[in-house]
Amino acid sequence: MVKAIYAGTFDPLTNGHLDIIRRASKIVDELTILVADNQLKKTTFTVEERKMMIENVLNGTPNVKIDYTNGLVVEYAKKHNVKIMFRGLRNFQDYEYEYSLSKYNSHINEDIETVLLFPSTHSDFVSSSGIKELVYYGVDISNYIPKVNVEIVKNRLKKIF
């Protein structure tokens, strides 16, 4: 059985994330969407809220499960005998970051492979931070995040702004 992880903060889940999830799930037997609770990043949504937004969209997808970690993703992979980590690559800045991250990860766990997926053209520019800025300025975000989560995201962000 080939198991893989697609990790991120998903703060919030975007259609770009969803595109990578759907494509990655076709490549492996089991895909874990791993919500990273990175203490170095300031997140808007709790881990539970981020997991719920993912479940809203992926509920019933047979080979996809959702989990979280507050540690290193590569350590989670080692503990759960996962050999593949999918990452999305939108631009050159992402490439530089992902390249460095893959080197750190392979030093920590030599059995891990990082597989980069390019997003589909309709979502190659979408980012969670961009979504937050659009909500701040009152722009419709329904083309950028799963429609089932639009009101959840708008309501939370309106409380912050």
Nearest-10 crossing angle of helices 150-160, 128-136:
70
Q: pTM (2 decimals)?
A: 0.92
Pick the catalytic residue: 26, 41, 42, 159?
A: 41
Q: What is the pLDDT of residue 32?
A: 98
Between 3.40.190.10, 3.40.50.620, 3.40.718.10, 1.10.3720.10, what CATH number should domain 3-160 receive? 3.40.50.620
Task: Spell out the domain ranges in the chain.
Answer: 3-160
Distance from C-alpha of 105 to C-alpha of 75, rounded to nearest angstrom: 9
User: 4 Cβ partners below 8 Å, 6+ apart?
Assistant: 24, 27, 28, 30, 31, 32, 82, 83, 84, 85, 86, 115
Q: Known catalytic residue: 41?
A: yes
Per residue in 147-161, pLDDT (tens digit) is 999 999 999 998 887
Distance from C-alpha of 88 to C-alpha of 92, rounded to nearest angstrom: 12
Pick the catalytic residue: 17, 87, 132, 154?
A: 17
Distance from C-alpha of 45 to C-alpha of 147, rounded to nearest angstrom: 17
Q: How far is CA 100 from the centre of its chain?
A: 18
Q: What is the pLDDT of residue 78?
A: 96
Pick the catalytic residue: 51, 123, 128, 132?
A: 128
Pick the catalytic residue: 3, 90, 106, 156?
A: 90
Q: Known catalytic residue: 22?
A: no
Distance from C-alpha of 160 to C-alpha of 158, rounded to nearest angstrom: 5
Structure tokens at 109: 């766990």
- Strand partners of residue 86: 6, 115
Distance from C-alpha of 125 to C-alpha of 77, rounded to nearest angstrom: 28
Residues in the chain: 161
Going residue by residue through the chain (161 aa), what tens digit of pLDDT does each one get? Answer: 999 999 999 999 999 999 999 999 999 999 999 999 988 889 999 999 999 999 999 988 899 999 999 999 999 999 999 999 999 988 778 889 899 999 999 999 999 999 999 888 677 788 899 999 999 999 999 999 999 999 999 999 988 87
Q: Do residues 34 and 64 lie in contact, with contact meaning Cβ atoms separated by under 8 Å?
A: no
